[in-house]
Amino acid sequence: MRKFSIFLTLLLIASGTAVTQASSASTVQISFVMMNPQTKANVGSGIQVSIYPINHPQQRTDLRTDANGVVTFTPDQERYGLDWYCGPCNAPARRSGATAYLIQPKSDGTFEVLSMADEPVVQNSDGAWILTTEIQKPAKSNSPWKLMSPQPDLGGSARLMFLLTNGKVMVQTSNGGVESRQKWWLLTPDINGNYDTGTWEQAPSPKDYNPTTYSGAILHDGNLMVFGGEQNANDAGVVTNGTNICQIYNVATNSWTQIAPPNNGQGDWRALMGPNAALADGRILIGASPDGSNANESMLYDPITNSWALTGLNKVSENNEAGFTLLQNNKILTTQQPRGTLGSGTTIAEIYDPATGLWSSAGETNALFNFVEVGPALGLRNGNVLQTGALGENGLYNPTTNSWSVVPPLTKLKNGLQLVAQDNEAAILPNGNILTITATYIHSTISGNGIAPGRSMAPARYEEYDWRTNSWIDLPEGLLSVPSWGGPNMTFFLPLPNGQIMISEGGGIQFFTGTGSPEASWAPVVTSVSSKDLAPKTQYTISGKQLSGLTQGLHWGDEWQAATNYPLVRIVNNASHHVFYATTSGISSTSITPMVPSTFNMTIGSDVESGPSKLYVIATGIESLPTDVTISGGSNKFAEEKAAAELKAAAELKAAAELKAAAELKAKQEAGAKAAALKKTTITCVKGKLAKKVTAVKPVCSAGYKKK
């Protein structure tokens, strides 16, 4: 990929004269000159530049460049962020933007400027700041990233993704507008099981439910439940803040059904905006948190009775900006401040026990994980939980000892800014590590207790937590968003059955493949299949241990949940090696307890090819050992195509042989004719009493002689 830079020149001027220090008697104006890296000239007029105080990012000042590509701003003595986007600066068909910058006052009255892309910020000979960023770096041959090919045209940016129990991926998209705000799509892997070259089809949309910042969970019957949202658009395009709509998508019928919300949507349940998790027994735990309240109660949804029940009333901490994480002991972990104290003090941790419906202490975290937002808390395959913090502090929870240990902070940039994980995604890799996406978080104050309001600023960076060494690995940049554009908030992960992580970001889709291999003890164990002879549209039962894996697979801080701890079935035909997925249902347990026994049902489709095959049970990207099965009554497409190809090859071979024989006969005949034509004969020529013989191909008597 081509490499180029955007330059942004910052001038501090007072009364038309460039200065580097403010004085109490003068007003400091900061001028920004935007340069087009392609033309090496300023961008000219009309480019928007947004400047906002970190303390109140909603109070944005939107400026437009003049004919010389300049905007001028008069700051107060506080921190500011700066964003800008230059369409004419970008190469065709390339997603790119411009770096976010931090402008902050120093104690001596001067300002310093820091690049969120961690590029050095220096001054030229005139004292002007030169801000640069690398728009896009070339991909390396050993890159863990792979783009979907071709990039899908889904009519909007892909957002939350769910792995369905038939191996397909459901994706919600948003076009950013009001009307037709969201669409829903299904991605089917190709015949070889590859998702990056799979096929798309539009799915039906739930009536009047086009949510943003919501969650979902796979139910034990194999269907998908989605619920709530911080915003919702009805089918007429009317957007409201907060919704308690709950919908269930039926995988078999490709249709939606709306169900009643908890408490019929009354009181603290007027909107579902809080934490949630699917319990091992199939119930869904949702915490009340409407409109940023400090509510602490929760509701349990029972899919069997289609009813809600109040629970967890003794919870000390509030649900607002908290997350729920399923543990290997089937309990739920949450971290948050005490009610009404969000943004101050040390985080407390609590454990919910589904057996009693009560919360208890999960020990002292000795860290501040929640601050306006919270980072993901995802369980490792050894049972511990990695909790990433919104301010850079991270912790590791051990359920066995009910205690916390320290995880090193994420990477610190060269300019001193700290990467943090807040309001972002994390996914488990087959090697047991955790993939996450981070950004810098800037506070409104330069000093103090570190709990002042702030803002997460682009660019986002991918990090990998190594569970064996308790350390962070800096990962190469992805192939979609440029280093200078896109924070983590709208980047979504999904662990796939093939071990890859599917990532939607900035309107595109890419795939991450980690290094290493899973440990054998992490794999699902199949103990029995009700029949080894399988037919389409017939239900079979599979029994085994840890069939839902050892981790939720996926976690977002407080919303956007789409966990993958449930079994999938992959069938590979022995002859063609083609890959097919059965549809799973009737899951007895989605516990992530090691070697816990469970059962589930599966049904294969009529597209599954007939013949000897291998069956695998997959959980969070790790497959079981194969079970030999035989498919009868399925698709004979491959066998028919193979037979047709063999008949065609035989016919072509026969035709070629006949053509060769005919050619050889013709050549022989021509050779015979040619030989006959070249055969010499002898004649006798006479002249009076004289006679002589003449031998030639065409003998002719010489003058005066006649042929006898």
Whether 404 shows a pLDDT value over 80: the answer reads yes
Whether 37 shows a pLDDT value over 90: the answer reads no
Contact (Cβ atoms closer than 8 angstroms) between residue 503 and residue 424: no
Q: What is the average pLDDT value for the chain, to the nearest integer?
A: 86
Q: Could you read off the pLDDT of 673-695 as tens digits, one per residue?
A: 887 778 888 889 998 888 888 88
Burial of 124 (0-12, 13-18, 19+ CB in 10 A): exposed
663 phi and psi, to 5 degrees? Answer: -65, -40
CB atoms near residue 268 (< 10 Å) = 19
pLDDT of residue 10: 39
* C-alpha dist (Å) from residue 114 to 37, 54, 79, 193, 645: 20, 14, 11, 45, 65
Whether 17 shows a pLDDT value over 50: the answer reads no
| CA separation for the pair 613, 170 (Å, rounded) | 27
**Mean of pLDDT values over 51-74:** 85
**Mean of pLDDT values over 297-304:** 97
At 264, is the secondary structure helix, strand, or coil? helix
The total number of residues shown for the chain amounts to 708
For 113-117, 442-446, 519-523, which range has the lowest pLDDT when averaged over its residues?
442-446
Whether 449 shows a pLDDT value over 50: the answer reads no
User: Hey, which of 49-63, 273-287, 332-346 has the most confident mean pLDDT?
Assistant: 273-287
Contact (Cβ atoms closer than 8 angstroms) between residue 69 and residue 35: yes
For 16-25, 242-251, 525-534, which range has the lowest pLDDT when averaged over its residues?
16-25
Whether 304 shows a pLDDT value over 50: the answer reads yes
Q: Quick one: tokens of 49?
A: 């530049």
Closest by CA position to 196, among listed 152, 148, 144, 154: 148
* First-to-last C-alpha distance (Å) of the chain: 93
User: Hey, which of 115-124, 568-577, 631-640 has the most confident mean pLDDT?
Assistant: 568-577
For 236, residues 6+ apart whose C-beta sits below 8 A from its C-beta are none
pTM for the model: 0.85
Confidence of residue 139 (pLDDT cuts 50, 70, 90): low
CB atoms near residue 389 (< 10 Å) = 26
Q: Could you read off the pLDDT of 204-232 as tens digits, one per residue?
A: 999 999 999 999 999 999 999 999 999 99
Residues 438-459 as b/e (b if ≥16 CB within 10 A, e otherwise) read bbbbbbbbeeeeebbebbbbbb
CB atoms near residue 684 (< 10 Å) = 14
Looking at the chain, the whole-number percentage of residues with pLDDT higher than 90 is 51
For 544, residues 6+ apart whose C-beta sits below 8 A from its C-beta are 524, 525, 526, 527, 528, 597, 598, 599, 617, 624
**Mean of pLDDT values over 439-445:** 73
Amino acid in position 578: H
For 98-102, 209-213, 218-222, 394-398, which range has the lowest pLDDT when averaged over its residues?
98-102
pLDDT of residue 166: 98
- Bridge-based pairing of strands 80-84 and 101-105 is antiparallel
- How is 56-81 classified by DSSP, letter by letter? -TTS-EEEE--TTSEEEE---SS-EE
Q: Quick one: tokens of 321?
A: 């900006």
* C-alpha dist (Å) from residue 413 to 84, 123, 442: 22, 20, 13
Q: For the chain, which domains are there?
A: 5-134 (2.60.40.10), 522-618+626-635 (2.60.40), 678-708 (no CATH)
Whether 75 shows a pLDDT value over 70: the answer reads yes
Confidence of residue 142 (pLDDT cuts 50, 70, 90): confident
Q: Quick one: tokens of 401?
A: 């000892």
pLDDT of residue 12: 35
Contact (Cβ atoms closer than 8 angstroms) between residue 330 and residue 318: no
Q: Could you read off the pLDDT of 180-210 as tens digits, one per residue?
A: 467 899 999 999 999 999 999 999 999 999 9
Range list of H helices, 436-503:
none
* C-alpha dist (Å) from residue 170 to 136, 166, 461, 506, 548: 30, 11, 26, 18, 20
Q: Which residue has the higher pLDDT, 362 or 371?
A: 362
**Mean of pLDDT values over 518-529:** 98
| CA separation for the pair 385, 395 (Å, rounded) | 8
CB atoms near residue 523 (< 10 Å) = 20
For 208-217, 389-398, 612-621, 644-653, which range has the lowest pLDDT when averaged over its residues?
644-653
Confidence of residue 19 (pLDDT cuts 50, 70, 90): very low
Burial of 143 (0-12, 13-18, 19+ CB in 10 A): middle
| CA separation for the pair 446, 111 (Å, rounded) | 12
**Mean of pLDDT values over 403-411:** 93
| CA separation for the pair 502, 171 (Å, rounded) | 11
Contact (Cβ atoms closer than 8 angstroms) between residue 370 and residue 317: no
DSSP lists the bridge partners of residue 508 as 505
pLDDT of residue 445: 54
pLDDT of residue 450: 43
**Mean of pLDDT values over 397-413:** 93
**Mean of pLDDT values over 228-257:** 93
pLDDT of residue 283: 98
Q: Which residue has the higher pLDDT, 411 or 179?
A: 411
At 639, is the secondary structure helix, strand, or coil? helix
| CA separation for the pair 131, 113 (Å, rounded) | 8
Closest by CA position to 319, among listed 341, 293, 345: 293
Whether 448 shows a pLDDT value over 50: the answer reads no
CA 154 and chain centroid, separation: 15
Q: Which residue has the higher pLDDT, 404 or 506?
A: 404
| CA separation for the pair 54, 372 (Å, rounded) | 14
